[in-house]
Amino acid sequence: MSPLISGCAVVAVTAAVSACARVIIAPHVEAQPQAEASELRFAPPPAAPPVASETYHVTIAMTADTAEALAASGFALMGFKAVGATDKAGVPLVWFRATHYSLSTAVTWHSRYQAYTATHATGSSASIDAMASYDIASGQVLEVQHPTGTGVVRLGGTPGAISFHNQTTTLFTCGISQYQAGVAAPIASFPLHGKSLQVAVPMERVLLVFATVLLEPGTPVRTSPGLGVLLDLGDAHERSVTYDINAGWRWGGHPWAQEVPPDADIVPLLIVSLPR
Partner 1 sequence: MATPYSITITMDQNTVNKLVASGFKLYGFKGAKTTLQGGAPLIWFQTEKFSLTTEVSWTEQYQAYTSLSQIIPNGQIEASAAYNISLGQTLNVTNVSGTGQVVTGGTENAISINNKNTTPFTCGVSQVNSVTKVAKPLCAFPLYGLALDVLAPIELVMLEFATEAHNTGTVIYQAFSQAALIDLTSQSQIPVTFDINQGWSAGGTPSVRFFPAGTNLAPLLLKP
Which residues of this protein are in contact with partner 1, per CB under 8 A?
20, 26-30, 32-36, 39, 117-133, 146-150
Q: Are 3 and 17 in contact (CB under 8 A)?
A: yes
Considering the complex, state which of residue 120 and residue 250 has its C-beta at the smaller distance from partner 1: 120
Report which DSSP code applies to 40. -
Considering the complex, state which of residue 42 and residue 235 has its C-beta at the smaller distance from partner 1: 42
> Using alpha carbons only, what angle is made at residue 198 by residues 133 and 225, rounded to the nearest 5 degrees?
75
- Tell the burial category of 270 from Cβ atoms under 10 Å away from its Cβ (0-12, 13-18, 19+): buried
Nearest distance from C-beta of residue 72 to partner 1, angstroms: 22
Distance CA 185, CA 170 (A): 23
Considering the complex, state which of residue 14 and residue 117 has its C-beta at the smaller distance from partner 1: 117
Considering the complex, state which of residue 109 and residue 172 has its C-beta at the smaller distance from partner 1: 172
Pairing assessment for the beta strands 140-144 and 162-166 based on DSSP bridges: parallel
Buried b (16+ CB within 10 A) or exposed e, 54-84: eebebbbebeeebbeebeeeebbbbbbbbbb
Nearest distance from C-beta of residue 40 to partner 1, angstroms: 12
Nearest distance from C-beta of residue 218 to partner 1, angstroms: 11
Nearest distance from C-beta of residue 154 to partner 1, angstroms: 15
Considering the complex, state which of residue 32 and residue 138 has its C-beta at the smaller distance from partner 1: 32
